[in-house]
């Protein structure tokens, strides 16, 4: 059984719509900790990292709230680095910009990154159509973008392009598409899943990452179809079904190689009776050992 450490990062400063800062509360309300304990895991909840509130934060910067986002990610990075050896951290977002602190903090030796998302999050301030930082974290982890963000860990890349795998992509900006192709990043779109099925795609993705000693999974709720998970700020039709997502989690569980996990972009304001948070908790349970038989 794992020693699981929960850390909330209640940040919506990187998103274009408010409310995702309540994601950690929604996930806790959906019984994340009791569910993990019922599976036999030891669980420690460290509460939330302090994050500035948008209404009380001046933002005259061309990149909205950049300093406050960098501060929250720095706090997250340091808190993660302070966890015990062998701990399995689960990070409760918050918008996906938190991954600049979570994935960097969890990446000790060379680390694989499985990015489960409708979006590539590979924009930089120069390429982003919206300017929203939650569309930039993977670019930052690869060493590009605003130096305030790469400065969270002292600069440079913490993840290599060849160590990244996407699953669930279905909406990309032109610069992101060009970067994926140029860098040769392994990417499985919903078209790939339609054609080949989740079992084959997941097996190939995990085989690609099997050479790496650590695996960080960054799970954005908008990877799921919005009819299943409506509580997200950037819904895209045609996402993962309930069983596709569960199968991916079950296959990940079977590898026993996941060393850290993000649960991000759950927005209770846009949800129906906390359905999205509850589904994300169910997916986490499958990842951490819950099985049908």
Active-site residue, from 12, 21, 71, 119: 119
Active-site residue, from 96, 146, 163, 176: 96
User: Quick check: 41 and 68 in contact, CB under 8 A?
Assistant: no
Distance (Å, whole) CA 116 – CA 47 = 25
Distance (Å, whole) CA 283 – CA 278 = 9
In CATH, what is the architecture of 3-287? Answer: 3-Layer(aba) Sandwich (3.40)
Distance (Å, whole) CA 254 – CA 250 = 6
Q: What is the pLDDT of residues 175-212, one digit of tens each?
A: 999 999 999 999 999 999 999 999 999 999 999 999 99
Q: Would residue 121 show up in a list of annotated catalytic residues for this protein?
A: yes
Q: What is the mean pLDDT of the chain?
A: 96
What mean pLDDT do residues 59-81 have? 93
pLDDT class of 121 with cuts at 50, 70, 90? very high
The yes-or-no verdict on residue 62 having pLDDT over 90 is no
User: Quick check: 22 and 268 in contact, CB under 8 A?
Assistant: yes
pLDDT class of 1 with cuts at 50, 70, 90? confident
Q: Would residue 96 show up in a list of annotated catalytic residues for this protein?
A: yes
Active-site residue, from 117, 144, 262, 271: 117
pLDDT at residue 141, as a whole number: 98
Q: Would residue 38 show up in a list of annotated catalytic residues for this protein?
A: no
pLDDT class of 109 with cuts at 50, 70, 90? confident
Active-site residue, from 121, 144, 163, 192: 121
The yes-or-no verdict on residue 47 having pLDDT over 80 is yes
The yes-or-no verdict on residue 224 having pLDDT over 80 is yes
DSSP conformation letters of 192-243:
HHHHH-HHHHHHHHHHHHTTSSEEEEEEEGGGB-TTT----SS--SS-B-HH
Active-site residue, from 71, 146, 176, 220: 220
Q: Would residue 265 show up in a list of annotated catalytic residues for this protein?
A: yes
Q: Would residue 134 show up in a list of annotated catalytic residues for this protein?
A: yes
Q: Would residue 207 show up in a list of annotated catalytic residues for this protein?
A: no
pTM given for the model: 0.97
Active-site residue, from 192, 222, 250, 262: 222
Higher pLDDT, 17 or 113: 113
């Amino acid at each position: 059984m794992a020693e699981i450490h929960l850390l909330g990062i209640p940040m919506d400063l990187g998103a274009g719509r408010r409310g995702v800062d309540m994601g950690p509360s929604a996930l806790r309300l959906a019984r994340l900790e009791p569910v993990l304990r019922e599976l036999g895991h030891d669980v420690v909840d460290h509460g939330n990292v302090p994050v500035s509130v948008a209404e009380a934060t001046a933002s005259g910067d061309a990149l909205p709230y950049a300093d406050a986002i960098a501060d929250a990610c720095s706090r997250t990075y340091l808190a993660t680095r302070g966890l015990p050896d062998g701990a399995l951290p689960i990070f409760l977002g918050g918008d996906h910009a938190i991954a600049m602190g979570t994935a960097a903090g969890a990446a000790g030796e060379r680390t694989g990154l499985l990015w489960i998302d409708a979006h590539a999050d590979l924009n930089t301030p120069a390429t982003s159509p919206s300017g929203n930082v939650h569309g930039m974290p993977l670019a930052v982890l690869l060493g590009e973008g605003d130096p305030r963000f790469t400065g969270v860990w002292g600069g440079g890349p913490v993840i290599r392009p060849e160590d990244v795998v996407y699953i669930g992509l279905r909406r990309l900006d032109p610069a992101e598409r060009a970067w994926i192709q140029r860098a040769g990043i392994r990417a499985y779109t919903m078209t790939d899943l339609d054609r080949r099925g989740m079992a084959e795609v997941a097996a190939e993705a995990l085989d690609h990452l099997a050479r790496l000693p650590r695996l960080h999974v960054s799970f954005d709720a908008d990877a799921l179809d919005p009819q299943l998970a409506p509580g997200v700020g950037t819904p895209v039709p045609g996402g993962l079904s309930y069983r596709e997502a569960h199968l991916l989690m079950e296959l990940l569980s079977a590898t026993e190689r996941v060393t850290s996990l993000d649960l991000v972009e759950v927005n209770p304001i846009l949800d129906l009776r906390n359905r999205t948070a509850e589904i994300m908790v169910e997916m986490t349970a499958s990842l951490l050992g819950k099985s049908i038989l």
